[in-house]
Amino acid sequence: MDDVTLGEAARALGVSVDTLRRWDREGKLTTTRDERGRRRVPAAEIERLSRRPRRHRTGAQGSARNRFTGVVTSVEVDGVMALVEIEAGPFRITAAITRDAVEELGLVPGKPTTAVVKATSVMVEGAA
């Protein structure tokens, strides 16, 4: 396998092209440039990054009814955990995730994102 485009590498790794650009800037990913100055990702880098935990790769998991596309409205980091609030149409979703996930996904207010909801049970009680 030769060097591939950022788009091809992003699909292979289950992350966004923006994430790969950020990783390149931060030194977490080594890229080359083609004759037109476009980033290329060596096969060895894809292999190295493929060995990382799958914790932040969602791919096409989850049915359409469990996916909420929206925009990050707030990120509150405290120690190793963070609360991320997403406005997805008429819904407001708050997720407790790790600080590492926030950093790896580049979650900041205004960033488009998708919340994938997976739960075996949800119980809500309210006054009648």
CA dist., res. 12 & res. 104, Å (int): 17
Q: How far apart are CA 19 and CA 17, in angstroms?
A: 5
Q: Which domains does the chain possess? A: 4-52 (1.10.1660.10), 64-116 (2.40.50.100)
**Per-residue pLDDT tens over the stretch 60-98:** 454 556 788 899 999 999 999 999 999 988 889 999 999
In this prediction, residue 94 carries a pLDDT of 92
Output the pLDDT for position 79: 92
- What is the structure's pLDDT at 117? 82
pTM over 0.85: no
pLDDT for res 30: 92
DSSP 25-62: HHTSS--EE-TTS-EEE-HHHHHHHHTS-GGG--TT-S
